[in-house]
Structure 1
């Protein structure tokens, strides 16, 4: 589980709490009106409806290329769309209900059909509605084969997208002043985060308190029942790996083959999550530093990995001491921005290296070109009309905080942050104090994981920091399974790399898996 979304990354830095009132008004039906009295008994069924229609502009914003648009539209003609009614509170099955949006892309080779495979989205809070197309049929030629023998199932978890959801109608916590974060400034951010979290949590506790991974797993099993499937096979990404673990623990008899990519830890403490991730990010920067050193003639950052490390750490300190405000860049460039460049994964080393080199000699009032390219995009933007919601920030916050077993007090979070920055001089400033769940007023709810004997593959990426490789090993000890090692640092890259994707498809067809794959290639 990575909590990798824009909300979480900013909240961990103490910059953001929740969507603005404008975003809240746009985020979908309020649960108080969308939830309705539920049936006292009966078997779930899918209420099939027509699928949405998307403009070319909307598809481009979903990263569908112009060349892929005709294929996407052809797949949409095959896609089935509907909703399944589930209890808001699974402990009160006769109470209010909410709708879970579901999609199905039926197997093209019905005579050799192996069953249904549910794609489990990341986040928490990411949409999975179009995943049968975007993560399977349209991803690459290898992944497209998955749909030959499997019905591929997508869904929006409760609180997301076309499913019933809410939004906290409060103003985000404002950004800190650029430069070194002082204790005084941190205390103000902490107090603002507490106030924001309490307003959010108390705005609709009946709904927000039911946003947990375990409840999403319960919803998914009702989706399985509604589809008439005896078992579900699972393909999970990021937080979806946590969902897969919980589903498999809760419903082992209904779980078929499961492949979980970029594996979450078997625990839900955000303080430990950030500590482990920060250590992995600094460690991976060592690989980047060695790569840059071998190309010193191009980047001029040092002829050895040690020189690059020391130079970047010096650059972090320099920009914290003297932050720069560029007229064409919304984000101030301080130590946190430099550290953000230093923790980029290998697919971005070329551009990150150029940006770091530019910052060593930058002058003038406008940002250097690569710095602007990497740091210039606004953190939030005006959505394209008709685009399905990619991330629900309220769901992201609620699931993370409902399950966070730490919720550290200020003194503890501040001490941990200072240690983190000191221990990780190149990348540590990209993080912030662990204030995300401070003051969250709802009780901690944690699912129980159980070992199982069914087929399970845990894909861990050897060098990534968003889902640390050691978490894969910890998870295997907790729930069992086979470790599949991807020798890269790229989050959930397995199905994007054709050689690795071929292993994923082969696993779902045969139940057999190798030891791993190379993953995303390091730039030459």
Structure 2
């Protein structure tokens, strides 16, 4: 599967959606007493529980668990229940081919005061949620309180992890030379990704064509029914917010409380998605520049935000004109690196500012400054061969492309890329040029999210560039709910930061929540 911009976006865990024909009915349009009329024979829906997979210490460490935390992680694993449920591949043919969906459950500690089942999704599309009940509780003490009164439900969506999958053949996409991307190089990338999309989509069209958010929502409702729950609670992050919106739209009578963090667009077009992110990254850099200017004595990049902006923009242009080649690094550094750093979150600002200064004050042939090496990072240790899958690129590509109506040709894709560069001088290359879904051979399956039932909180991050805050407001207009504002620039931090997690847990346990939280503090 090509590592296109769509895949890169998915790694950041995000997808939005778009309109469904008005005449199309969904299972949620039926009354609660009419479940027998819904697609498929639900009388035999059941979870087949089995022994959970064994994880080595090396595998646990690969999931960002430090040695001192491994015993606590294992204690939760020992409580985890693992199972599978069979669902129709195609809900229009419920008695046809069946596929398995992997499910986990961490039962509530206080069964006498149990509030129900809380399903979890970490984002994607393509992210594995199998071990999310354990990982959520490991984040902080407030999250741990969720398991006092809730059964926490993890699952791998269709196409991911322990669930049914259909991996695409690998593809080879040419890597452009350092410096500004030329139209000729972009065309080579486009042609390679276009061909790879056709090959992928045709490799198992019957399966890949059924990888949609709506089908995942149908699968989730089968899980709800198999658990014996009349209603389901849901916590979704990034693309998980789109899954939550679709589930609540399709099954309005089956939702109790839902919390969606780093909210997706309510209508998805890949070009709109990329434009929104690039503009948000440029705004984020203005904040970064103001922070650096306030510390001019430390970084020497300018005494005002405008001066820092100009200094960094000039550095980007200089690196594009003459790439930096250090004598102890294997690759040349160009202006694209500046675009990436400029859009990053505030916890990295001190390191980024030091790297800007080091790049400006060093020259070709020098050893790479320590600050630059620090930002480039060290290679990650290899993932153990027996580690369970955490992300599936094929599913990411298929879900995005099955729902994206744009599928731009080269001329339009190139024009859109050039416009992003012009509008966002520093961060225009925050997302690289890609063919995205061009050539994807399967039909577009659009969906329009709408108002549903239950209590809904939309958690938006005021300064975020991955899921811009305005998307939260657009989603509220489309589906309703209460906006909860996190005053940071981090993606999906509401479950990670204690000052936000306490509010999220309060919502699930009492139904009440404040107007927002601080989130990750600016350095």
Check whether TM > 0.5: yes
**Is 1:59–2:60 an aligned residue pair?**
yes
**Is 1:270–2:270 an aligned residue pair?**
yes
Match of 1:120 in 2: 121
**Whole-Å separation in 1 of the counterparts to 2:470 and 2:227:** 36
Give per-residue Cα distances to partners, 1:354-403, cap 9 Å, x unaligned: 1212111223354322322332445x874212222111000111111111
**Whole-Å separation in 2 of the counterparts to 1:117 and 1:187:** 46
Give the CA deviation at 1:191: 1.0
Give the CA deviation at 1:448: 2.6
Q: Is the CA contact (8 Å cut-off) linking 2:5 and 2:434 kept in structure 1?
A: no
3-state DSSP of counterpart to 2:233: strand
**Is 1:97–2:98 an aligned residue pair?**
yes
Give per-residue Cα distances to partners, 1:108-127, cap 9 Å, x unaligned: 01111000000122111010
**Whole-Å separation in 2 of the counterparts to 1:151 and 1:495:** 17
Could you say if the C-alpha distance between residues 109 and 11 of structure 1 is closer, same or farther in structure 2, counting changes exceeding 3 Å? Answer: closer
Could you say if the C-alpha distance between residues 400 and 290 of structure 1 is closer, same or farther in structure 2, counting changes exceeding 3 Å? Answer: same
- Count of residues paired in the alignment: 493
Give the CA deviation at 1:326: 4.5
Match of 2:78 in 1: 77
Could you say if the C-alpha distance between residues 387 and 12 of structure 1 is closer, same or farther in structure 2, counting changes exceeding 3 Å? Answer: closer
Q: Is the CA contact (8 Å cut-off) linking 2:6 and 2:397 kept in structure 1?
A: no
Q: Which runs of 5+ in 1 are unaligned?
A: 14-37
3-state DSSP of counterpart to 2:44: coil
**Moved >6 Å (runs of 4+):** 38-41
3-state DSSP of counterpart to 1:138: helix
Q: Is the CA contact (8 Å cut-off) linking 1:331 and 1:375 kept in structure 2?
A: no
**Whole-Å separation in 2 of the counterparts to 1:11 and 1:447:** 21
**Whole-Å separation in 2 of the counterparts to 1:330 and 1:131:** 37
**Whole-Å separation in 2 of the counterparts to 1:139 and 1:218:** 29
Could you say if the C-alpha distance between residues 226 and 453 of structure 1 is closer, same or farther in structure 2, counting changes exceeding 3 Å? Answer: closer
**Whole-Å separation in 2 of the counterparts to 1:498 and 1:6:** 37
Match of 1:166 in 2: 166
3-state DSSP of counterpart to 2:86: strand
Q: Which moved more, 1:319-328 or 1:215-224?
A: 319-328
Could you say if the C-alpha distance between residues 253 and 93 of structure 1 is closer, same or farther in structure 2, counting changes exceeding 3 Å? Answer: same
Could you say if the C-alpha distance between residues 195 and 77 of structure 1 is closer, same or farther in structure 2, counting changes exceeding 3 Å? Answer: same
Give the CA deviation at 1:410: 1.4
**Whole-Å separation in 1 of the counterparts to 2:344 and 2:57:** 31
**Whole-Å separation in 2 of the counterparts to 1:11 and 1:418:** 21
3-state DSSP of counterpart to 2:100: strand
**Whole-Å separation in 1 of the counterparts to 2:292 and 2:2:** 28
Report the TM-score, using the length of structure 2 for normalisation. Answer: 0.91
Q: Is the CA contact (8 Å cut-off) linking 2:6 and 2:400 kept in structure 1?
A: no
Could you say if the C-alpha distance between residues 255 and 40 of structure 1 is closer, same or farther in structure 2, counting changes exceeding 3 Å? Answer: closer
**Whole-Å separation in 2 of the counterparts to 1:143 and 1:415:** 45
Q: Is the CA contact (8 Å cut-off) linking 2:2 and 2:172 kept in structure 1?
A: no
Give the CA deviation at 1:243: 0.1
Give the CA deviation at 1:59: 1.1
Could you say if the C-alpha distance between residues 413 and 9 of structure 1 is closer, same or farther in structure 2, counting changes exceeding 3 Å? Answer: closer
3-state DSSP of counterpart to 1:229: coil
Q: Which moved more, 1:438-447 or 1:100-109?
A: 438-447
Q: Which moved more, 1:50-59 or 1:234-243?
A: 50-59
Give per-residue Cα distances to partners, 1:176-210, cap 9 Å, x unaligned: 11101111111111111111111111111111101
Q: CA RMSD in A?
A: 2.0
Could you say if the C-alpha distance between residues 330 and 387 of structure 1 is closer, same or farther in structure 2, counting changes exceeding 3 Å? Answer: farther
Match of 2:22 in 1: none
Match of 2:443 in 1: 443
Q: Which moved more, 1:418-427 or 1:360-369?
A: 360-369
**Whole-Å separation in 2 of the counterparts to 1:244 and 1:306:** 41
- The equivalences for 1:109-508 within 5 A come to 109-135=110-136, 137-326=137-326, 329=329, 332-363=332-363, 364=365, 366-377=367-378, 382-508=382-508
Q: Which runs of 5+ in 2 are unaligned?
A: 10-38
Report the TM-score, using the length of structure 1 for normalisation. Answer: 0.91
Give the CA deviation at 1:170: 2.6
